[in-house]
Structure 1
Amino acid sequence: MYYLPYNKNLKQFSRYLRNNSTLSEVLLWNEIKARKIKGYQFNRQKPLNNYIVDFYCKQLNLVIEVDGSSHYHGDAPIRDAQRQTILESMGLNFLRFDDMDVKKNINSVIQIIYEFIEEYEALNSPS
């Protein structure tokens, strides 16, 4: 993977977002921080290009987004899709979860992340 552009102007805002996380972001973070999932390191509220993603794992080229109710109104779905398309064009993979799924079905969310990792490892392991 090539170098991902970093917008240093987003650093302060990403810090603000980390300090003001939603409940579902905190719940998911508690499950994936400190290399808890197969030893992979995740960052939260990570600036990538001109965006800030909820969670990012460099080793897996993986972005995880948690979508609350604001992501389903107005032009937010269109903006989210455009943003995802741009980041995917840079070689990133996406997993997107609904806020309520994280709150009510965290085990299912973690299982989906594990399944992604297993598939990623199978496709990217040296033969």
Structure 2
Amino acid sequence: MIPQILLHRPESEKTIRYSLNNSIPVKEELHRRLTQKGYYFLQDHRINNYTFDFYCSTFKIAIEIDGYAHEFSDVYNLDAPKKLHIHSLGITVLRFTDHQILVDIEEVFRALKHLINQQNTSSYVV
């Protein structure tokens, strides 16, 4: 598998201000839309020392909403141990910015459906 390089595109000041002012409504909106689509995710679910914005135990999928604070390297670096520990538990974390959720929530659902389909087709036959 070839590693992907993601280019960081700096957000405009207008987008950043909007994100800062709307972080709680974004979580509420995502929760409402997940429920409408029939997905059962727990909100603010704690696993060991880490809390996720949303977690589905059936598929072992967590969704994290990254607000503006995740743009800073010290916040990003604090997430590194969390990523390693959660990966060791077999949990997949989908990360979206609050801007992505507000602008293209259907992409969130496409990514979620893709991950669930991958999990369902990756069974082993003995």
In 1, Cα distance between equivalents of 2:85 and 2:43: 19
Q: TM-score, normalised by structure 1?
A: 0.73
Amino acid at match of 1:36: G
Q: Structure 1 residues 34, 124: CA separation in 2 closer, same or farther (over 3 Å shift)? A: farther
TM-score normalised by L of structure 2: 0.74
Are the aligned partners of 1:35 and 1:42 in contact in 2 as well (CA < 8 Å)? no
Q: CA deviation at 1:118?
A: 0.9
One-letter amino acid matched to 1:47: R
Identity, % of aligned positions: 26
Q: Measured at CA, do residues 33 and 115 of structure 1 come closer, stay the same or move farther in structure 2, by a change above 3 Å? A: same
Rounded to whole Å, the distance in 2 between the matches of 1:32 and 1:60 is 14
Higher-RCO chain (CA-CA 8 Å, sequence separation at least 6): 1
Distance across 2 between alignment mates of 1:110 and 1:70 = 24
Equivalent residue for 2:81?
82
> What is the DSSP-based 3-state SS (H/G/I as helix, E as strand, rest coil) of the residue aligned with 1:60?
coil
8 Å CA contact 1:45, 1:54 repeated in 2? yes
**Cα-Cα RMSD:** 2.1
Distance (Å, rounded) in 2 between the aligned partners of 1:58 and 1:35: 17
**CA distance, structure 2, for counterparts of residue 23 and residue 111 of structure 1:** 21
Indicate yes or no: 2:73 matched with 1:71. no
Unaligned runs of 5+ in 1: 1-20
Matched, 1:109 2:108: yes
When Rg is computed on C-alpha atoms for both structures, the one with the higher figure is: 2
For the residues of structure 2 that align with 1:35 and 1:110, how far apart are their CA atoms? 9
